């Protein structure tokens, strides 16, 4: 966006990045909401050893995602492209019919992404990975059985080394009105992960549509995260 307004890191991608980094993979995270040259940034990161490029997309972003996926395949035809997020969860068939998309992740992906890495390293088959869609060699759409929701107790805390944190600290946040009532302009804000899903039941929300449960971290885990960040 030209004027980003309220900015904080995309928590879904932060979860995936933290999971992959903990498993020993090198991760680069590029946020299109704060990087106006995100296309160039993504293309510059693709190397011969790049295992895949992943997108988290809402429906309003899907056309931009398709455009960038095409550019990636033009530069590196053999680099797998994986789409996850709200749009691929709701419309996986549409996503994998795009010739530039190799896999669509349906619903949450903290466990799924590790199994995809096993596939990319020749340790398993796509047919064995729950919660994904893909096209087989004959062009037929395959949607594997769903995966249970991620267990939040197994998800690592955010790894802020994946980000250029200063770019977020210099932006406004939706929570400033609660914390800056005294006019203190020195407070900077970043999120931590205390829950997955949502405790509210708004009828239009994907959490309700998909019947996602609200899962919370334990109090002790949240306290340990605060101590670590301090």
φ/ψ of residue 174, rounded to 5 = -65, -20
At 65, is the pLDDT very low, low, confident or very high (cuts 50, 70, 90)?
very high
Mean pLDDT of the chain: 89
Spell out the alpha helix ranges (H) of 76-194: 86-90, 92-97, 112-120, 165-169, 176-179
Instruction: Tell me the average pLDDT across 67-81.
Output: 97
Instruction: Tell me the average pLDDT across 125-133.
Output: 97
Instruction: Tell me the average pLDDT across 128-146.
Output: 96
At 173, is the pLDDT very low, low, confident or very high (cuts 50, 70, 90)?
low
* Predicted local distance difference test score (pLDDT) of residue 179: 63
Cβ-based neighbours of 96, under 8 Å, separated by 6 or more: 102, 103, 104, 133, 134, 135, 141
Cβ-based neighbours of 135, under 8 Å, separated by 6 or more: 96, 97, 141, 142
Instruction: Tell me the average pLDDT across 93-105.
Output: 97
Q: Look up residue 148 and give its two tokens.
A: 């249970």
At 130, is the pLDDT very low, low, confident or very high (cuts 50, 70, 90)?
very high
Locus of tokens 């991620």: 150
At 6, is the pLDDT very low, low, confident or very high (cuts 50, 70, 90)?
low
Does the structure show a pLDDT above 80 at 177? Answer: no
The pLDDT > 70 percentage for the chain reads 89
Does the structure show a pLDDT above 80 at 187? Answer: no
Does the structure show a pLDDT above 90 at 62? Answer: yes
Query: Can you give the pTM of this predicted structure?
Result: 0.89
d(CA 181, CA 172): 14
At 175, is the pLDDT very low, low, confident or very high (cuts 50, 70, 90)?
low
Instruction: Tell me the average pLDDT across 63-73.
Output: 96
């Amino acid at each position: 966006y030209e004027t980003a307004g309220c900015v904080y890191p995309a928590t879904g991608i932060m979860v995936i990045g933290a999971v992959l980094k903990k498993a020993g993979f090198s991760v680069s995270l590029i946020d299109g909401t704060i990087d106006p040259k995100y296309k160039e940034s993504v293309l510059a990161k693709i190397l011969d050893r790049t295992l895949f490029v992943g997108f988290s997309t809402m429906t309003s972003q899907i056309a931009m995602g398709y455009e960038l996926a095409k550019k990636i395949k033009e530069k590196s035809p053999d680099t797998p492209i994986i789409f996850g997020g709200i749009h691929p969860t709701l419309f996986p068939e549409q996503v994998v019919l795009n010739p530039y998309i190799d896999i669509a992740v349906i619903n949450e992906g903290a466990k799924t992404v590790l199994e995809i890495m096993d596939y990319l390293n020749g340790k398993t088959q796509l047919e064995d990975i729950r919660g994904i869609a893909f096209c087989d060699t004959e062009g037929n759409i395959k949607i594997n059985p769903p995966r249970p929701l991620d267990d939040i107790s197994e998800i690592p805390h955010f790894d802020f080394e994946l980000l250029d944190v200063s770019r977020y600290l210099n932006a406004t946040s939706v929570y400033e009105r609660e914390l800056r009532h005294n006019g203190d302009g020195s407070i900077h804000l970043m999120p931590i992960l205390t829950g997955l899903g949502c405790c509210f039941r708004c009828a239009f929300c994907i959490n309700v549509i998909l019947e996602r449960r609200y899962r919370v971290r334990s109090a002790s885990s949240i306290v340990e995260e605060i101590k670590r960040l301090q």
